[in-house]
Each structure stands twice: as C-alpha cells, then as structure tokens.
Amino acid sequence: MNAKSLKRLFSYLKGSTGLAVLSVIIGLLFGGATVAIPYFAGKAIDDLGDTEALIKCLLVIVGLIVLAALLQFALIRMNNRIAFNIGQNLRNATYSKMHRVKMSYIDRTSAGKLQSFIISDVETVSDGMLLFLNQFASGIATIIITLIVMFYINWKISLIVVIFTPVSIAVSTAIAKGAYKSFAKQAEIRSKQTSFVAESVNNFRECKIYNVTDTRINGFDEINGEYRKTSTKATFLSSISNPSSRFVNALIYAAVVLTGCLSGIGGAITVGALTSLLAYANQFMKPFNDLSAVYTELSDSFACLARVFEYLDSPEIPEEPVRDDLPSKDVQFDIEFKNVSFSYVEGRPVLQDISFKVGRGESFAIAGPTGCGKTTLINLLMRYYEPDSGDILINGKSIKDIPRSELRHYIGFVSQDTWLSDDTVMENIRFSGDHITEEEAVEASKKAGCDSFIRKLPKRYNEMLDNDRDDISEGQKQLLTIARAMASDPSILILDEATSSVDVVTEDRIQKAVKKLLNGRTSIIIAHRLSQITSCDKIVVIDGGKVSEIGSHDELIANGGFYSRLYASYISE
C-alpha cells in the first residue's frame, strides 16, 4: 500500500471526480458534526443550573445528531457509487488489456487466472475502496478536529493522548504488514482455484470418460486446503489488529481518566469539560481503531490490486495506424517467407531458415509430421508473433509495415479449434462485420454445406448458439466456422485442419465448395489428411522445423523423398 498505487487507482475515477471531491467535503462535515456533539454535551452538564442555556445546548445536540445522520447517509450513497465506478472502470481496463496483450502472454497464462484478474481481483479492490472511502475523510476529519478541541479544553491531558497514540499506530501497522503477505498469497491461490474449476468445467466430459472425477476432486481439495490455511492466517492477522489497537487505546484512555479526575479534584477542570475530554479521548481513538481495521482489510484489496497492475503493465502489441479506406478485397496477393526463423522459448527453435513463395491466386499446402511447425507459420503470417529473424512479405512488402488490422482484413482463417459466439447462427456467420448482408451469410452457409442442418433448428438462422451445445456436433460447428470465413469473402484464405471434425461425405462436399471459393484467391492449407492437399498448386514439406521439399503433389511423389514416404504411409492406413 503506497501513494503511487493509490494515485494510480484513483486515476480510474473517470466521471466521478466531482463526486469524490463532494464525498471528501461531506466526510469532513460529518467528522466535524460528530466531534461537536461531545463539546455541547459537556457544556450542557456545566449549564445544569441554567435551564435556558441547557435547552439551547440540547437543541444543538439534537440538530447535530440529525445532521450527522443525514451526512452519513449521503456519504455512504456517494462512496458506493464511487467505489463501483472505480471497479467498473478497472474491470473495463483489464478486459480491454486482454485484447491488447501479446499472444505469448495469453499462451502462458491460464484462462482461470485471466478471469480472476478481471472478475474476482477487481471485485475485491472495489470492496476495499468502499471501506476506505467510508472511513478515510470522516476519520481524518474526526482525528484533526478532535485533537484541536481537546487542546482547547486542556492541553496537558491532551498531550498524554498525542504521546501514546503512535504506539497504537505502530502495533496495527506491524500486524497489517504481516497480513498483506498472507493476503497476497491468498489471492494467488484463489486464482489457482478459479483456473482449476474452469478447467474442470470446460473438460467435464473428458473427466467422466477417463474416470478421473475422484482425482480432480482430490486435487481441488488440496488447493482448497492450502487456501483455507492461508486464509485462516490472513484473517487471524487482520482480526487481531483491531483488538490490539483497542487494548493500547484502552490503556491510553485509562491514563486520561486518571489524570482528568485528579485535575477535576484540584479544580483545574470542570465536570462538563472533563466529560467532553473523556468523550473526545475515546472519540479520538475510534478513527484509529476503524482505520486499523480498514487497513488490514485493504491488505487483501491491495494484494489483488498489485496483481491487477502487474497484469495491466504486461507487454502489449504496439499501437498501429488504422485505415478507413482499405483497398478492395479483389486485389490478389503473393506471400513470401524469406529466411524465417522462430522460437517460442529462447534457444529452442521451432522454425529454422524457412523460405518459400506462394504466388498470386495459388493454392499452397503445408505438410509435415505433427509438431514440425506448420501452425507456427500461420501464427507468424497472422502476426500473432514476430519472427526471430528473416521476414514475411506480401506483394513484396514486409508484413511488419502492414498494420495488423489491415493485414487481417484480407485474410479468412479457419482454425482446427472451433469457437462460436453466444449469439444467433446468423450473427456467428456475420461475425467479421455488419457489412455482410443476411443474403450473403445464407449463401456462404449453402457453399459450406451447413444450410441444411441450420434449417432444421427450431429458429433456423435466429437460433441461439454457444460452444457447449450438445445438439450441434463438432463437425457442424466446424461447418459454421467455414461459412463464417466464406462470408467474409477474403483475398487470402487459410485453412488449418479445417475439416478435422467432419465425416468423409461432408468433407468431400466442403472440398468442392472450398475449391470454388479458392478460385482466384491465394490460399494456404494445412491438413493431416493428405488427400485434401493433392490438388494444391504447390506443397511445401516441413520436417524438423526446416523446409524439406517444395513442389506439386505429382512432383513430390516422383522425387521419392520425405513427402512420398509420408503419403505412402497415409494411404496404407
């Protein structure tokens, strides 16, 4: 917990700055009103013999109580709004960051951990801010005004409170530091919990198929036990802070009572003034007790905030200019990989000195054994990653000089991993933009071979979809993703195992539709089923991260090299 973190946190006020200033002012007024009550209570005691003065004091006290209640009500309402606004802005920032971070960060960070940043950690920060705002301004005002009034009544007795107050602060601060470490560890384990649960839910069928339910339950029990142990320690440390400071404050209060009574016996102070002073001594300590309790609760919030800020500070994709006047997609492109090398982990190359060229309008296939780097080539072309060395050119221009949004505007990509948005069938097909008409979407569905099963759905193209629907097969989902790519009418089409989940009959139908779509378009196809790429203009064979052969299917078979052996192995299956 430091000024820099607080300053950065308050930068997320956005739209609530005026409300925050008003909250501070009302907090100061509330603190002032509560401090004034004991002063007039003491005067009322001294004015017991004067009925008129007594009535005036009582009316003032009642007015201050009503005013304090109204101010507190307004303060709580405003602080709720401010805390929730900060939480909303911080949540928007974390979600927006997820779309800007480098792909390498997404690859090495679990989905559960990202969810924890955006939802759980931000919620904890918001709750901590609410506690802080409710106590801070009014607490500071109460301490300062109380101290001034106490010195006004009797500076000698007040000096006792001032001298021993740092002891109370030191005790609560020492405990809070220990609590922060435990809360930080608790936040990490909570993130681990979220990730574990998300993994179990997303792979529920696999857990059942392989009969590992008990193993997963035991795994969660272990994490939960670790969380219980850490949370118990954090809660214990945060819980003893307030009682510890109250114990020290009780000793200070006892010293004030003893000194005040002795002064009262000697006639140095009136009974009413002593009553006010004792009330102030207690009131002066109360904000410290409250703030110490808030401080320990804030330990959890700041532990989460540190994690959120670390995530927000992670490297992101540099901003690039966005063009509104993109050329027509009718333009043909050639693609050239020029001495490209790449490694996900330094010292462990995946691709080494890759060079080949895809001509304009050519269909180009990438073949090779699993793990040879086929999909990595596509990741580099899509600029998910940048090559360690070498370059990729489109129409002779380095893709480093082409903004990602412009590059991807021309590319239609069908991945082997199907994903559908929680939306209608129609909107899933029109996912790449509203410029796609419903007629074009239906036509793309017909070409992809999914129109027939869509029309069997209860609401047809208005049927709501999600990735977990059981009544739509994985193959049908893959057909929808192909229709989505077709609807975008790309200049460059990339198919990465795009028919891995469809049957042979459906695959044949898709192949015919894709062949029509590929006519005049530059395309790159990755497929383990070599029958899908035999008709491609050229095939590049990757083996061990290097180019092994390049040529047409017939040329490669005639060469009798690695591809020939690979194809022989395939057709013999």
Q: Cα dihedral sign for 71, 76, 77, 79?
A: positive
Tell me the CATH class for 3-98+111-312.
mainly alpha
DSSP-derived secondary structure letter, 572: T
Cβ neighbors of 556 (< 8 A, separation 6 or more) are: 539, 541, 549, 563, 564, 567
DSSP state string for 137-205: HHHHHHHHHHHHHHHHH-HHHHHHHHHHHHHHHHHHHHHHHHHHHHHHHHHHHHHHHHHHHHHHHHTHH
Tell me the per-residue pLDDT of 348-394, one tens digit each, with 9 for 90 and over.
Answer: 888 888 888 888 888 888 888 777 888 888 888 888 888 889 999 98
Query: How does DSSP classify residue 327?
Result: P
Task: Report strand pairing: 389-394 vs 335-342.
Answer: antiparallel
The listed range with the strongest mean pLDDT (6-20, 215-229, 508-522) is: 215-229
Place of tokens 């940048």: 386
The listed range with the strongest mean pLDDT (204-208, 252-256, 475-479) is: 475-479
The 10s digit of each residue's pLDDT in 459-485 is 888 888 776 666 777 777 888 888 888
pLDDT at residue 70 in the model: 93
> What ranges do the domains of the chain cover?
3-98+111-312, 332-410+524-573
- Show the tokens assigned to 554: 């017939």
What CATH class is the domain 332-410+524-573? alpha beta
The label of the residue with tokens 């140095």 reads: 268
Distance CA 12, CA 28 (A): 23
pLDDT in tens, 262-314: 776 766 677 777 777 777 777 776 766 666 666 666 777 877 888 888 888 88
**What integer pLDDT is reported at residue 416 of this predicted model?**
75
Q: What is the Cα–Cα distance from 554 to 509, expressed in whole angstroms?
A: 24
Cα–Cα distance for residue pair 268/261, rounded to 1 Å: 10
SS3 85: helix
pLDDT of residue 66: 93
